[in-house]
Structure 1
């Protein structure tokens, strides 16, 4: 089945998504005459229904949109923001405890920045999706949301991936009655298919909120019944999110010029993980120019440096030009390589502490006119705050995990600030009409995955082969090495890294979960997906547009 979808056809559209039911929603939207943004928005809302533990109305979303042949792209961002009452001293930091959270910062008493009401930030996904639709959509919003509404109201079968996620978080979900009612009915996790179908997940309250958005757009969510319910639930439980936070939320829209990386041009929101993807790629380009082998040792050094720079410099401040933008320049890459070759800064930095995978949903869409869309959305951790708002059925994010809980740091909590997200939705162009849209889910591992896939695609691999090839992930002096590349372990150890040889399995998160769409020259669009996880590929010209789980 995968080979059938990969052939593509000139002039046809395509959607890739982390679930076939979501891909079907996007394909039906293309078939109805929708644009790539219509398809992406339809898919995104559907993804939030079929994998609510990854993303949805209670999280954030980032889109990159490029119109055919345009020299710039448009980013539409709806990051999770800190509530206006948030402040740098809001958490009781436990400096002697092992690091935790997405970035390995010191632990907080009770994991209050990760689980429960004090972890909830202002969700931006609905604002971003509705703004992108208003700018680039062709179909009525109600038509675009119809597949998601049907999936929520009629229900859908719990697949093995969802069942695994629910089982993994059951201990925390059971602490919140509203969450347990949805995902642990009768006290037991929803069961995936075994000798029969998986348990149905029916979400009528979520369907009603989707109907309200379909009729009234983002305002119906941020200033209506859902906003009142979310704010009431969070504040009564001891959190800081208010109706005022929700009513004042607005997505941002920006035209972005590409970052030149050798023969490629990369478009994306630099204030996300994209800045680190670009830095890593530019470091590899600089190494190529100096004759260095772009193998696992180089990638380990490059990724370690990119993460070190990220945590030391990158912020989401919106009050002027970002000084950290220099990280995505050939000049900076050249300086780093010169330092390495001369023996300066040759040792990897100390590790930053334990890492959480983080959980997101990525999807890609193209239409018959050549518009391309890359979209990543998230509730951040698996099941976000683990808190389901009972009146709306919305899984609320734990976006406060994005912030350093210590005052006086680069990424400390600040009222209204956007969190430092690792999402990396990108659009690429290259010589001879080459184009691609790409992204992944998996926390900080998104950055290493997207960078290495781009590098392989740049060297001529088709997107599916680039996604399926072995990868490494490195932070500080630690490297996670794909078992298929285990022969590189001795060389990495000699270079000063602690190496963990791991094997990616259907329910592991060592190397992220990517998908995308690409073409070269006059060829048709072809998808690339993580074949070990659930995925879907939808095409509007096909009588059977969705591709089942492989």
Structure 2
């Protein structure tokens, strides 16, 4: 046997199923069923896909606050039914007065979270106030609404306000996520008060179905209510901006009001990548979009024709080779300015970041990825607003003298890869969460549908591999033996179960439209994920 089997759980391996949904009306696919339901409620009320996306973005910041929120960053693809596809970038950036001396290297070791940087004393680039970067999510969602929204801003934020007033229900999954970050949350008094009991122990719901323990989100509800009436610009150039800066500076962060006032989301012309008779539309800068373009170019050379039907051993090997080529180029040349990320394996971590996709009954689509970066971001809560802060500074290399070294005003290079794919009368809007693992998932799910003619349901249930820049290839343990052996002949291959904790593979989410029929799919291992159709 030329591959290894890695056990990541004592539980028996299971084959999971999460059926796709179909409708002539709209479909909303997210990592939380309630968010998907709220998105479809917006569509039923007469809103378009962009209106639904605005509501879903803010709702997800309440329902799964460790994944994303207004103080995060991200990017999206917008595909109007009757106009060219657009890209919108709203990534985080370093404060203008950031001081690299605030991040002294530890004597030894590697960073404690997603990226294998050299360790910084106290992990201050990972957790705590100095890990916080200038946010972009509120600006991005605001820019989307300004250009494409049809419903009132306040009406679209109302569901998030109401959910925050109720507080997040702590079920087993929420309890697990809080417990996994309890140590870092305990370091910030406001985060500890929000998510922990007695400042130390994670809030954990009882084991009976009658338990109704919730996180108090009243301050977040007040903030969202203010934002709903004041408008999104207040987050950057109003009372809310001044409150956020005051809170951050009181905790020791270097963000100043000018950082927020000068921030702008960027509408961009997407990359349009021709591949095998189809077109992949992706974000052009500071994301994994250019890396997907490199992967497809390489694949077109080594395997120009893909047989229809489920992928076989030759397909998986070709995908692996092309992903390895693309990641090698990314890790040596991508960034702001060119960045050299360390080429270590991506860790199997709990899920962070969130992706969702929306299609309305007219065929308008949105593919949106938003993140705080790590789970719970910096594990810092703004005391006045109740918002979790990002830890975008972790995207930078803390070692000085490198292209991607920590520096003032620099934009962060993100791993996200929202995409829109056109092929043979079908349009797909897809993306994923999962850090460096995102690209592998987006590429494979898209190629399964575009090149191999798999249905969305078939594609989401077909096993995948992960190639994320390190020396080891991870393969789904349920892949046929001949596929595992073929991969093992060329790669250091480990067969691992498809699970959400730890995260062995990324978590794709997608919608598709063909012949007037819309469909939606979500990663089968995510406990809360579900696609909901507008009937």
- TM-score normalised over the length of structure 1: 0.86
Other-structure match for 1:131: 143
Other-structure match for 2:43: 30
Contact 2:20 2:521 in 1 (8 A): no
- What is the CA distance between 1:93 and its match in structure 2? 2.3
* 1:380-422 residue CA offsets vs partner (Å, 9 max, x unmatched): 0000001111111111000001111123323222322221100
Give, in whole Å, the separation in 2 of the partners of 1:101 and 1:172: 11
Contact 2:20 2:457 in 1 (8 A): no
Contact 2:19 2:521 in 1 (8 A): no
User: What are the equivalent positions in structure 2 for 1:32-431 lying under 5 Å apart?
Assistant: 32-70=45-83, 72-94=84-106, 96-98=108-110, 101-186=113-198, 187-192=200-205, 194-196=207-209, 197-271=211-285, 272-289=287-304, 294-317=314-337, 351-352=343-344, 355=347, 357=349, 359-431=352-424
- Paired residue secondary structure (1:519): strand
- What is the CA distance between 1:285 and its match in structure 2? 2.3
- What is the CA distance between 1:513 and its match in structure 2? 1.1
- What is the CA distance between 1:376 and its match in structure 2? 0.6
Give, in whole Å, the separation in 2 of the partners of 1:355 and 1:119: 20
* 1:193-234 residue CA offsets vs partner (Å, 9 max, x unmatched): 731235222311111111122112222112334323332232
The Cα RMSD (Å) is: 2.5
Give, in whole Å, the separation in 1 of the partners of 2:82 and 2:314: 31
Are residues 290 and 130 of structure 1, via their aligned partners in 2, closer, same or farther at CA, if it must alter by over 3 Å?
closer
* 1:267-302 residue CA offsets vs partner (Å, 9 max, x unmatched): 121221122222223322221138996433333322
- Paired residue secondary structure (1:15): strand
Contact 1:360 1:441 in 2 (8 A): yes
* 1:352-373 residue CA offsets vs partner (Å, 9 max, x unmatched): 2563646101110111221110
- Paired residue secondary structure (1:390): coil
Give, in whole Å, the separation in 2 of the partners of 1:219 and 1:62: 18
Contact 1:308 1:476 in 2 (8 A): no
* 1:317-357 residue CA offsets vs partner (Å, 9 max, x unmatched): 5xxxx999xxxxxxxxxxxxxxxxxxxxxxxx994256364
Give, in whole Å, the separation in 1 of the partners of 2:388 and 2:18: 36
* 1:172-198 residue CA offsets vs partner (Å, 9 max, x unmatched): 111111111111133432324731235
154-163 vs 78-87, which moves further = 154-163
Give, in whole Å, the separation in 2 of the partners of 1:194 and 1:278: 47
Give, in whole Å, the separation in 2 of the partners of 1:78 and 1:356: 26
Give, in whole Å, the separation in 2 of the partners of 1:17 and 1:192: 24
Q: Work out whether 1:510 is the aligned partner of 2:530.
A: no
Contact 1:158 1:201 in 2 (8 A): yes
Other-structure match for 1:455: 447
Other-structure match for 2:518: 525
Are residues 270 and 355 of structure 1, via their aligned partners in 2, closer, same or farther at CA, if it must alter by over 3 Å?
farther
53-62 vs 234-243, which moves further = 234-243
Are residues 106 and 305 of structure 1, via their aligned partners in 2, closer, same or farther at CA, if it must alter by over 3 Å?
farther
Are residues 285 and 92 of structure 1, via their aligned partners in 2, closer, same or farther at CA, if it must alter by over 3 Å?
same
Contact 1:464 1:529 in 2 (8 A): no
Contact 2:339 2:404 in 1 (8 A): no
278-287 vs 42-51, which moves further = 278-287
- Paired residue secondary structure (2:366): strand
Give, in whole Å, the separation in 1 of the partners of 2:36 and 2:367: 14
Task: Give 5+ residue unaligned stretches, structure 1.
Answer: 325-348, 542-550
Other-structure match for 2:309: none
Which of 514, 532, 535 is the aligned partner of 1:538? 532
Task: Give 5+ residue unaligned stretches, structure 2.
Answer: 1-16, 307-311
Contact 2:105 2:399 in 1 (8 A): yes
Contact 1:95 1:106 in 2 (8 A): no
- What is the CA distance between 1:102 and its match in structure 2? 3.3
- What is the CA distance between 1:259 and its match in structure 2? 1.4
Give, in whole Å, the separation in 1 of the partners of 2:20 and 2:313: 35
- Paired residue secondary structure (2:393): helix
Give, in whole Å, the separation in 2 of the partners of 1:350 and 1:178: 34
Contact 2:67 2:374 in 1 (8 A): yes
- What is the CA distance between 1:33 and its match in structure 2? 0.7
Other-structure match for 2:458: 465
Are residues 531 and 353 of structure 1, via their aligned partners in 2, closer, same or farther at CA, if it must alter by over 3 Å?
closer
Give, in whole Å, the separation in 2 of the partners of 1:379 and 1:203: 18
- Paired residue secondary structure (1:266): strand
- Paired residue secondary structure (2:428): strand
- What is the CA distance between 1:66 and its match in structure 2? 1.1
Compare the two structures and name the one with the higher helix fraction.
1
- Paired residue secondary structure (2:263): coil
Are residues 8 and 508 of structure 1, via their aligned partners in 2, closer, same or farther at CA, if it must alter by over 3 Å?
farther
- What is the CA distance between 1:41 and its match in structure 2? 0.9
- Paired residue secondary structure (1:270): coil
